[in-house]
Structure 1
Amino acid sequence: MSLPEALPRLIATDLDGTLLRDDKTVSARTIAALAAAESAGLEVIFVTGRPARWMNVVSDHVHGHGIAICGNGAAVVDLHQGGELVETRPLPRENACAIVGALRTAAPGVTFAVERTTGLHYEPDYPPFGFDPAFEIAPVERLLAPDARHAGLPVLKLLAHHPALDPDAFLTLARSVAGAYGEVTRSSPAALLEISAPGVSKASTLADRCARRGIRPDEVVAFGDMPNDLEMLGWAGTAYAMANAHPAVLAATPHRTTSNEDDGVARVIEQLLSCRRPVAG
């Protein structure tokens, strides 16, 4: 396990497949490591593809800092205030419509969901989340129409699901036909793509938050496991791929830690705190 020369100022960590165990819990060891990091003066920020309403899994483990980046960078929320939105970086309606048209043509059988600031809206054939019922079910063209019932609410992400395509092949195809209209990525083991506004990613929003606090990339340690983490891992001064990470993440990330099931994030934090001194703020 390679460590930076000095204690970082900020730890940025993905959740699913990274900080969270497979049962979506935070282990006692990880809870203790997060608390120790904050006690040592490090800021911890969760950077996830999850919407704000799915952040209850970690909201009890927020200490001095309550900001989290959700929706792959499309939303910044204050977990101390119950997930209150601090900032949004929405996908323009015309971009979303162009993406839908391009994917309808390139990948017949694709179905869509629209993630707005208040919840999920999806097509009749889109695989539902049983724990997160839709606000509205209708063809995506209707969901994105200028006179749609929720048209006044920002679109944070467009989700595209295909029942048969290989997930990585679907990602490559979508980027080739729709990448001009938005940032296309994936974090699910299924052929489920997440599409944000152009230039919006975990990395871009994290970089903006750090710049506001005067934190340089070389003062950031980041953790991740899936393609939606790649830009963030490339931006951070020190980046760790989980042992269970997607092959593209393992190939692109210089450092490794153990799996999410083996407290990989906590292990690095413990090592950092045991042998490094803080850098000057």
Structure 2
Amino acid sequence: MVPVTHPPEHLTPKSPRPHPDGARVAPRLIATDLDGTLLRSDKTVSARTIAALAAAEAAGIEVFFVTGRPARWMDVVSDHVHGHGLAICANGAAVVDLHDGHRVVRVRELARHDALAVAHALRAAAPGVSFAVERTGGIHYEPEYPSFPMDPGASFAPVEDLLTDSREGHHAEPVVKLLAHHPTMDPDEFLALGRKTAGAHAEFTRSSPSALLEISGRGVSKASTLALACEERGIRPEEVVAFGDMPNDLAMLTWAGTSYAMANAHPDVLLCTTHTTASNEEDGVAKVIESFL
């Protein structure tokens, strides 16, 4: 098997620039984030974007949704997956078949001992932090964590209990993400603190406007799982076009041969992509796809 190319730990900033007018070479694969990128702010997919995705698939271009969302939150795009039916979820920790009831077909889990080490390090460095544990079957919270209204059936317990290595009930399910929330810290400062204090145990990123860290297993990112999918299809990085807007997209955007930051993107994303496109509210992804076709 050909070794997977992983993105560098330190991203090299690039000067963002719009793509020149005129015909563009069609890629073999399009990789797009969802929230803030493909989805509008009301979490819908516009008719123009639906048509562009279908046209890309009809032209033989594979489309992968690559998101921080868990599998159970993928209903927003399930009807717009064609061909292979796969999506990369949980920032690369899970590959999901949306044609088969959101079935998880690949897991790149966060080891429980690493998750515990991260939790203890963050608790010492940032008093007031609280945690949630995302498993393949659902999410579970510490009582202080601001729970998601989309997950009414979750359980509540201290993170040490949530990470208990038991073979019964939800404890038998792999951990795909540890979430850490702080009520007062600046989001980017919290991300830097997490990487500094516990980066040896896991991968840290963020996609929320609040101080919410998304923590995955070592080496797990949108980029590394997308690289595996492309390797299996014989697709080179330079044949991939990627779209994103937040720090959890950076690894994917720097791995892909061509990358687009949305006009509404985080400043770090605008610095590290090769091109920019219109905002998610203005069908930026669709406009670029249309230019290929």
TM-score w.r.t. structure 1 length? 0.95
Instruction: Confirm or deny: 8 A CA contact 2:24 2:292 kept in the other structure.
Output: no
Instruction: Tell me the secondary structure at the aligned position of residue 136 of structure 1.
Output: coil
Q: CA deviation at 1:5?
A: 5.1
- Pick one of 148, 155, 164 that aligns with 1:129: 148
133-142 or 100-109, which deviates more: 133-142
Corresponding residue of 2:12:
none
In the alignment, does 2:264 pair up with 1:247? no
Q: CA deviation at 1:63?
A: 1.6
In the alignment, does 2:19 pair up with 1:2? yes
Instruction: Confirm or deny: 8 A CA contact 2:242 2:256 kept in the other structure.
Output: yes
Q: Residues 229-240 of structure 1: matches in 2 within 5 Å?
A: 229-240=249-260
Q: CA deviation at 1:151?
A: 2.2
Instruction: Tell me the secondary structure at the aligned position of residue 137 of structure 1.
Output: coil
Structure 1 pair 200–106 and aligned structure 2 pair: CA distance change class (3 A): same
The whole-number CA distance in structure 1 between the counterparts of 2:155 and 2:119 is: 18
The whole-number CA distance in structure 2 between the counterparts of 1:186 and 1:134 is: 24
Corresponding residue of 1:277:
none
Q: CA deviation at 1:254?
A: 1.8
Gaps of 5+ in 1: 274-281
Corresponding residue of 2:58:
39
Letter aligned with residue 19 of structure 2: S
Corresponding residue of 1:202:
222
Instruction: Confirm or deny: 8 A CA contact 1:121 1:135 kept in the other structure.
Output: yes
Instruction: Confirm or deny: 8 A CA contact 2:133 2:179 kept in the other structure.
Output: yes
The whole-number CA distance in structure 2 between the counterparts of 1:156 and 1:86 is: 13
Letter aligned with residue 126 of structure 1: Y
Letter aligned with residue 285 of structure 2: V
The whole-number CA distance in structure 2 between the counterparts of 1:149 and 1:210 is: 34
Corresponding residue of 1:278:
none
| Percent of pairs with identical residues | 70
Letter aligned with residue 189 of structure 1: P
In the alignment, does 2:284 pair up with 1:267? no
Instruction: Confirm or deny: 8 A CA contact 2:137 2:170 kept in the other structure.
Output: no
CA RMSD of superposed structures (Å) = 1.2
Number of aligned residue pairs: give it.
273
Q: CA deviation at 1:145?
A: 1.9
- Pick one of 110, 120, 129 that aligns with 1:110: 129
Instruction: Confirm or deny: 8 A CA contact 1:120 1:133 kept in the other structure.
Output: no
Instruction: Confirm or deny: 8 A CA contact 2:94 2:104 kept in the other structure.
Output: yes
Q: CA deviation at 1:42?
A: 0.3
Q: CA deviation at 1:128?
A: 1.1
Gaps of 5+ in 2: 1-17
In the alignment, does 2:235 pair up with 1:215? yes
Letter aligned with residue 274 of structure 2: P
142-151 or 249-258, which deviates more: 142-151
Off by >6 Å, runs of 4+ in structure 1: none
- Pick one of 67, 70, 74 that aligns with 2:86: 67
CA deviation vs aligned residue, 1:216-268 (integer Å, no higher than 9, x gap)? 00100000000000000000000000000000100111200000000000000
Q: Residues 30-179 of structure 1: matches in 2 within 5 Å?
A: 30-147=49-166, 149-179=169-199
CA deviation vs aligned residue, 1:147-182 (integer Å, no higher than 9, x gap)? 475321100000000000000000000000011100
The whole-number CA distance in structure 1 between the counterparts of 2:271 and 2:153 is: 37
Instruction: Tell me the secondary structure at the aligned position of residue 60 of structure 1.
Output: helix
Corresponding residue of 2:244:
224
Instruction: Confirm or deny: 8 A CA contact 1:45 1:65 kept in the other structure.
Output: no
Instruction: Tell me the secondary structure at the aligned position of residue 173 of structure 1.
Output: helix
The whole-number CA distance in structure 2 between the counterparts of 1:48 and 1:55 is: 9
